[in-house]
Amino acid sequence: MGIALVVNSFDKGGLEQVVLNLYLGYRQKGLDACILSQSRHVGAMAKKLRDPEDIFIFDGNEDAFFRYCEERNINTLHYHYNTFKMSEAKKKGFKTLYTMHNVYVWMSAPEIRAYSEKLADARKIVPVSSFVERYYLARTGADRGNIHTIPNGIDFGELDGEYDDFSVSRESLGFSDKDIVLAEIASFHPAKHQVGMIGVMEKLYEDRPEIKLLLVGNEGDKGYYNYFEKILANSPAKENITVIPYFDHKYMGQFLRHDVDIFTLPTLYEGCSNAVLEAAYCAKPMVLTDVGNAADFKDTGSCEVVRAAY
């Protein structure tokens, strides 16, 4: 029997990294695991699958979806930001899991309650942090009976690697030993609040010119990224802010250990940030807004948690 991870797309980003880690973990446990993508938006993460045949694009086609599951002998469906035919799957005898990656603040009260009714068909709902669980229960009044919180799975072994071909370094970025390098690692989306970090740097750059900011991530939301670029171009602190495009995740540990002094994540809402877990593993001091899994690090002595400004 096998397990399929059901997603909307599978290109690159934090969610895709989590799904990839789950896929690899299932494989290591001897399960026949695969990815079912509802769209053809697949790319970087798909190339890391053990077998290129382990991803199937079903294009919203119910017959193709269940036919592939039958041919692959799949008995468990693990959903991520996707509820495609979950009720029908349950009736057909599939075990269904749903990982809740976020607090869904964009949903209205009626929408989140309707969503919770869909999720009632899941055998287990898996929030990625206690914050996500509490927020979901408070908004929906859902039964806690099928909820089990599990933080995101991170491949910490990969973070230990050192690679000669990694092109990013303090030297290549023109930083001196006296510079203090902050880094935010997140795709460009309004919730990740990179624009807000420009304002922070404007308050710092005159008195503390040695403080530099690295923003590492995918373009994400094109409209927001264009807005960010416009604000940055007109900022007096622009020389102290560097945008680094997406790089292969295998370099992340090396980047955090050697190039970063302080990790920051000013996100406005969050589920469980992979980047926070990775920065903690690499023993980086952190400044986080009080959302998602930030609360889990409040008492470690290496993390400053502040309230998110909406």
Spatial distance between the Cα atoms of 219 and 13, rounded to a whole number of angstroms: 10
Give the residue from 303, 305, 281, 270 showing the smallest Cα distance to 132: 270
pLDDT mean for each 10 residues of the chain (310 residues):
95 88 93 96 89 95 97 97 96 96 92 93 92 92 90 84 93 93 95 95 93 93 96 96 90 95 92 89 91 72 56
Both 233 and 299 in a single domain? yes
Torsion sign across C-alpha atoms 79, 160, 243, 262? positive
How far apart (Å, rounded) are the C-alpha atoms in residues 51 and 207? Answer: 53
User: What pLDDT, on a 0 to 100 scale, did the predictor assign at position 183?
Assistant: 97
pLDDT at 73: 95
Overall domain count for the chain: 2
Domain stops at, among 123, 153, 183: 153
Q: Residue 62, SS3?
A: helix
Largest CA distance in the chain: 65
Pair 227, 278 in one domain: yes
**Cα-based distances in Å from 236 to 184, 210, 241, 266:** 20, 15, 10, 21
Query: Which of the 8 DSSP states describes residue 41?
Result: -
CA distance 310 to 299: 25
Bridge partners (DSSP) of residue 80 are 99
Q: Which pLDDT belongs to residue 189?
A: 94
Six token digits for residue 298: 């409040």
- What's residue 75's pLDDT? 96
* Number of other CB atoms surrounding residue 191 within 10 Å: 19
pLDDT of residue 310: 39
Tokens, residue 275: 């980047």
Domain at 182, CATH number: 3.40.50.2000
CA distance 20 to 25: 8
Looking at 136, 153, 170, the residue that finishes a domain is 153
Range of the domain at 98: 2-153
The answer on 124 and 220 residing in a single domain is no
| Whether residue 182 is found in the same domain as residue 255 | yes
* Whether 122 contacts 96, CB under 8 Å: yes
- Which of 153, 178, 204 is at the close of a domain? 153
- Rounded Cα distance, 218 and 231, in Å: 18
Q: Are 170 and 279 found together in one domain?
A: yes
Distance CA 221, CA 233 (A): 18
